[in-house]
Amino acid sequence: MMSRRILILFGVIWKLEGCGADGCELAELTWGGVWGFDGAMDTTGGIDFEGLWAKVLRDYRGDPESIHGPAHWRRVEGSGLQIAADNGADADVVRLFAVLHDSRRVNDSHELKHGELAAEYAETLRGKWFPPSVLKEERFAKLTYACRWHTHGKLSEDATIGACWDADRLDLGRVGLIPEARFMSTRLGKELAGG
């Protein structure tokens, strides 16, 4: 399996390219979270996240400036990867959750079905963007479960699902709510929420 090294530094996700005896070159990959993380982790190769983000943004029917929109997705990605570095969550699933989980919203109201719609949307994207050869069924099942249930206030003992939900809930400040440790599933999620 191909592997790619990424580094999250000062809230920006970098990719390490051309690694050799003299080290690696840094290239900015995307905006990360707001938590100021300087860890590093491996992510499996094979998913074109930049292309997927462009596709999801083309399909998105909500307001680009929405509190649940792309800027929120990026913050979820950043803090989700931070949690993944701490608890061993599946970084690719966390990143897929970040870009997909609110992408079927059309407004900022209490749209309870948007998680289910996000899971269905993931099914339509799977063949081209993360087929079974890249993301095996067990990993894909975690993605769709995390999307489907992310609005229902559940907790999870699964490291990956917990990282997804905590990353989303850590950004509750966007709607004027303070994240609470009792609604977090992971150790780091609780710590970041002040618990």
Name the site residues for Fe ion (rule: CB under 5 A).
102, 168
In the complex with Fe ion, the residue whose CB is nearer, 92 or 102, is 102
Q: How far apart are CA 84 and CA 6, in angstroms?
A: 13
Work out the angle between the directed axes of helices 91-100 and 114-129 (0-180°, nearest 10): 120
Name the residue nearer to Fe ion (CB basis): 30 or 44.
30
Let me know: does 127 contact 57? Beta carbons within 8 Å: no
Residue closer to Fe ion (CB basis): 77 or 168: 168
CB of 101 to Fe ion, least distance (A): 5
**Measured between alpha carbons, how far is 163 from 77 in angstroms, rounded to an integer?**
10
Check: CB of residue 90 under 8 Å from CB of residue 139: yes
Helix/strand/coil for 102? coil
How far is it, in rounded angstroms, from Cα 66 to Cα 138?
32
Would you say 11 or 72 has its CB closer to Fe ion? 72
Which residue, 72 or 134, has its beta carbon nearer to Fe ion?
Answer: 72
Instruction: Work out how close the CB of 190 gets to Fe ion at its nearest, in angstroms, rounded to a whole number.
Output: 19
Q: What is the closest distance, in whole angstroms, from the C-beta atom of residue 71 to Fe ion in the complex?
A: 11
Residue 21 is encoded by which pair of tokens?
């005896």
Nearer to Fe ion, 175 or 181 (CB): 175
- Centre a 10 Å sphere on the Cβ of residue 84 and count the other Cβ atoms it contains: 26
Q: Least distance to Fe ion from the beta carbon of 168, Å?
A: 4
Alpha helices in 43-158 (DSSP H): 49-59, 70-87, 91-100, 114-129, 137-149
Smallest separation, CB 90 to Fe ion (Å): 18
Cα 23 from Cα 16, distance rounded (Å): 9
Q: How far is the CB of 50 from Fe ion (least distance, A)?
A: 20
